[in-house]
Structures are given as structure tokens and as C-alpha cells.
Amino acid sequence: MRTSHGIAVALSAGFRLATAAPCGESSLLWVTTYPVGAGAGKLLTLKLDQATLQSVAESDTCGPFPSWLTQADDVLYCVNEAWGGANGDLSALQIADDLTLAKLSGGQTVGGPVSTHVYGEGGRGLAVADYAGGGIDTFDITDPAAIAVIKSRVYPAPSDNLPEPRNQARPHEAILDPTGDFLVFPDLGADLLRVLKVNKETLETTDTTSHEFARGTGPRHGAFFKSGDKTFFYVACELSNLLQGFAVTYNDDQTLSFTQVYNATTHGDETALPAGTSAAELYLAPNSNFITLSSRNEASLQYTLANGTEVASDPLITFSINAESGALTHVQTAPAGGINPRHFSFSQDGSRVASALQSDGRVVVFERDTASGKIGKAVAEVAVEGMPNFVMFKQ
Ligand SMILES: *[C@@H]1O[C@H](CO)[C@@H](O)[C@H](O)[C@H]1NC(C)=O
Ligand SMILES: *[C@@H]1O[C@H](CO)[C@@H](O)[C@H](O)[C@H]1NC(C)=O
């Protein structure tokens, strides 16, 4: 079972098999940063050793605007969002034993790639969501030294002439469903879940019926949850700050239907959120029925830095999923470690959470209790140059 970026599949009988990583074991994390001013963003390798988190390598092989990584064995796929450019890039980077990253091959994407996901038999395909350019690319990555575009699509703009960002299609994440037969892309600009049927063998993809949201919902990132014969999908909506849940129906394995089972604010209630609040990431924790999302620019909580100074923090908000109904119950609202947690992710066993605070130039790793789903105290933090926009544990 692939549990790389964007989706972790919970087996019905397999909840909470995860055990905590032995204390003291060191681990590595990948981080990408957006540039500040005229600088260039970087791909950083961080090492977590006990309570110390530090950068041990940095690379510019992915270009100046790296925004997302997917690891497949010893290859790291990195997209360069190439702000203002007509196109973006995908690079396949070889992870050497000494952690240097050498570019094996690359390819051009539609403008503004922000998320990638492996698909197809043997993990030979890679799908890319292109936010700024309003499209989706699929790549054949059978040979990482010769990746090749299978198809690049650009979707037409919605016809209602709304202001930016609703003026065009804006696919924000590539997500694979638990069967591997469908790729789902929340489209923040067109208020759709775009659904592509996958031919796992040929890697070809076909656009099928989309799910439509109310205009202005702004779906951004989501995750599937499978329980027995039931499948649910949850999505964090950036423009409305709503968290919506759906029961997923497979129609003769050709199309998907989404029936709403949950709808509340990203805090799980009806209370209006402060102006400027902007939902970002959402994941299902590994081997669990917990989802966690990040919300940006609320400054509603406090986080105590390692040196004792208290700073304002945005939240990471956790819910448990009712495996029968798909309804959500709020579990915890915890500090993300600062402002603008554009991305966070879980360690493979779910016992740690790493949070990238884009506006504060900080990455924080927290403890997490896999049984309760609650995020605990900070294990370590590090200040990084630029604006960290993505963090994941090396597999
Ligand atoms: C979801 O909840 C929000 C806030 O309560 C409401 O405005 C919106 O109409 C609801 N949407 C749906 C599709 O139920
Ligand atoms: C603690 O660290 C922060 C961030 O580096 C810094 O701004 C602050 O001055 C430090 N406070 C003390 C008391 O050293």
C-alpha cells in the first residue's frame, strides 16, 4: 500500500496498528521554500536528532520556486512553481547516500504546479495539479532518468467572469482514490472536484463527471478515508474556510458521485472565522480515522519557542471520523508553531507531525499520540531561510 503524499488508506481492520518510533532515533525531512525578495527558494534536507532539528543539505536543483515533493523509493519528484512563468517544471532527483540530489531528468508542466501524486501500476505515473495555469499534467516516470509528459490539459475558464482567483480553473492538489482507479483534483477557481478515470496499465486518464460546489467554496486540499465497503472524502475549502465531507459512490467503476455527509467551518462549528483566514492542508493520519487540517492567518493561539519566547500561532485542527456515517467530531485545536502553516505532514507511523510556517521561516516537529489523534508538545524547531511551504519525512 502506497502511503506517500496526499493519501493514506486506512484498512477497516487496521486502525491504530501504528506504534511510536523509538525515542532517540534520528530521522530526515524534506523541506521546500519559496524565495523572499529576489532570492531563490531551496530544497532543504533537515535532520531530526533527539531535540535538535537542523539543515544538513540544501539544493537548488528544482529551480527557484519549489512548491511540492513526492518521494518514490530513492527518487524525489519536485515541482518548480515558476511564479509568473508561462510553464512550470517537474524534476526527478536522485537521492544519493550522502543526501545530495542530482537531477536525473525533467519536463515542462502547465503553469504553476503545486502538487503531485504517483499513480498507475508499479507507480509508473505521476499526476501534477497546476494552479496558476489551470491545468493537469500526467507524466510517465517508468524511467526516472527519462520522464515524459503523457498529457497536459488546460481547462476553460468558468463563464461567470468572477474576480481572481475564481476567474479560471485552479486545480490545487492531485489525490489518488483508495482503488487507484481515479485521480481527484480540488479546483479552487472553478469550484469543482475534477475526477479523472485512470487506466492503471497504460497510464492514460480520462476526464469524467466533476462534483460541483457552491460558487466561492474554493476547495483546496482533501483526503479519502476507506472503511469496509464505505469510502468518504474530506476537503478543506480555502475561500469559504469550510470543511466538507462526502460519501463516495462508485458508479460501475466509471464515475464517482459525492454525497455530502458533513459541512461546517474548518473549526467544526458555525462561528465566523477572522478576516484573512485561509484553510490550507488536510491529511488523514496514517492507519487511523483522524483527519487534521491547517488554517492560516488566524493568529488565534500561542506557541512557545524553544528559547521561551511566546509567539502567535495558527491552528492545526483534528477531527475523528465516524466510520459508519462519515460525520466528523472535533478532537483538538493545537498550535501549528507559528503563522501560515501552508503545509504539514505526519511521520510514517503517525507519532510525529512536521509543520512548515511559511510566514515565520520556521519548521516545527511535534509529538503526536496515535491513539487519541492529539498533537502534543514540540520536539524540535528550526529557523530556515526563505518561506517554508512544504515539509515531509523522508521515507
Ligand atoms: C455549508 O455550511 C455553510 C456555513 O454554515 C453554509 O453557508 C453553506 O450553505 C453550507 N453548504 C452546503 C452545501 O450545505
Ligand atoms: C527567541 O528566539 C526568537 C526567534 O529567533 C527571537 O526573535 C527572540 O529574540 C529570542 N528571545 C530570546 C529571549 O532570546
Local confidence pLDDT in tens for the 395 residues of the chain: 334 333 333 333 333 333 344 444 689 999 999 999 888 999 999 999 999 999 999 999 999 999 999 999 999 999 999 999 999 999 999 999 999 999 999 999 999 999 999 999 999 999 999 999 999 999 999 999 999 999 999 999 999 999 999 999 999 999 999 999 999 999 999 999 999 999 999 999 999 999 999 999 999 999 999 999 999 999 999 999 999 999 999 999 999 999 999 999 999 999 999 999 999 999 999 999 999 999 999 999 999 999 999 999 999 999 999 999 999 999 999 999 999 999 999 999 999 999 999 999 999 999 999 999 999 999 999 999 999 999 999 99
Residue with cell 462561528: 271
Query: How far, in Å, is the centroid of ligand 2 from the Cα of 300?
Result: 20
Query: How far, in Å, is the centroid of ligand 1 from the Cα of 173?
Result: 22
What the block records as the C-alpha cell of 94 is 536522485
Residue whose Cα lies nearest atom 14 of ligand 2: it is 307
Query: How far, in Å, is the centroid of ligand 2 from the Cα of 305?
Result: 8
Query: How far, in Å, is the centroid of ligand 1 from the Cα of 199?
Result: 35
Residue whose Cα lies nearest atom 5 of ligand 2: it is 383
Q: What are phi and psi of 195, to 5 degrees?
A: -120, 120
305 touches ligand 2 (CB under 6 Å): yes
Ligand in nearest proximity to the CA of 382: 2
Ligand in nearest proximity to the CA of 361: 2
Q: Distance between CA 8 and CA 4 in Å, rounded?
A: 7
For 15-393, CATH number out of 2.130.10.10, 1.10.10.10, 1.20.1440.120, 3.30.420.40 equals 2.130.10.10
Q: Distance between CA 139 and CA 233 in Å, rounded?
A: 25
Pocket (CB within 6 angstroms of ligand 1): 214, 242, 260, 263, 270
| β-bridge mates for residue 357, sequence order | 341, 362
307 touches ligand 2 (CB under 6 Å): yes
pTM value is 0.93
What DSSP state is assigned to residue 155?
Answer: P
Which residues are within 8 A (CB) of 347 and not within 5 positions of it... i.e. 6 or more apart? 21, 27, 353, 354, 393
- Count the Cβ atoms, other than its own, within 10 Å of residue 377: 8
104 touches ligand 2 (CB under 6 Å): no
